[in-house]
Amino acid sequence: MRTLPVRPPYNLVRTLSCGQAFGWRVDGCMADGIFSGRRVHLRQVGDGIVVEGITERAALRSLRHYLNLDEDLAGVEDHLRSDRVLRRALPYTTGIALLHQDPWECLISFIVSAFNNIPKIELSVGRLMERFGEPGVDRGSRFPLPEALESASVRGLRACALGYRARYVTAVARLVASGKFDLERPQLLPYPEARRLLLTLPGVGEKVADCVLLFAYGKREAFPVDVWVKRAVERWYFRGRAVSNGQIRRFASDRFGEDAGYAQQHLFHYVRTRPRS
């Protein structure tokens, strides 16, 4: 058992339950999931997160980076508090951090997420890991490599409840495994160019591209627009008037700048947990 120090206002449960990743089960101040092929149990207590299942220093450093424990969330939220809507939301959403996810795992997870609900996404991602991932420790499994999904049978992918998304998973796996798509390339590009690059991939639309850029590549200006965020922005900023997703992204860029991704997460969490506010 180890403890990772955290700085206020970091909130583990809000960070892991606001739609960024699909492999965690949260309850109260605790979260269970698989990290680096190991089953881990996380519990936030005071100014630390107690970690069970990982003891090695290198793995703990990786977990700390993944959870983004060194982010200056107080500074981010001070900036967001200048917005009238977020000032009202922050008492209920404070402490959300943007995860630093593995680009490959994040990309496939969000391709699977398209037009899907969270329980079904969690089911599909879990089955992909069980059927095609390399064995980890203590009944854990690592996320399957591109080579494993490239050669997966149609029957095997269907057993993971992917539906029509199975063909996109296979196609993207082939591009990555062959080297035709370099997963490191988006990190090196400015946000607009990285976005255009991801949009060339099968099964990657605008929302999926922005999610991957925000949650895996650290492009904080990305503002994924789903039905929840669209509803929130139209209701609270456009007086209920319908606007396009493109208009919403331009509005978010002008209003929130480099913290647009953080604004998106707070709006997403607020509208889902307090829809009548």
pLDDT tens per residue, range 170-227:
999 999 999 999 999 999 999 999 999 999 999 999 999 999 999 999 999 999 999 9
pLDDT tens, 223-250? 999 999 999 999 999 999 999 999 999 9
pLDDT at 141: 77
- By CB neighbour count within 10 A (0-12 exposed, 13-18 middle, 19+ buried), where does 183 fall? middle
Using the Cα atoms of residue 251, residue 254, residue 255 and residue 260 in order, give the sign of their dihedral: positive
With both helix axes pointing from N to C terminus, report the angle between 227-237 and 260-273 in degrees, rounded to the nearest 10.
Answer: 90
What type of residue sits at position 193?
E
pLDDT at residue 37 is higher than 90: no
Sketch out the chain's domains with CATH numbers.
Answer: 2-70 (3.30.310.40), 103-215 (1.10.340.30), 227-273 (1.10.1670)
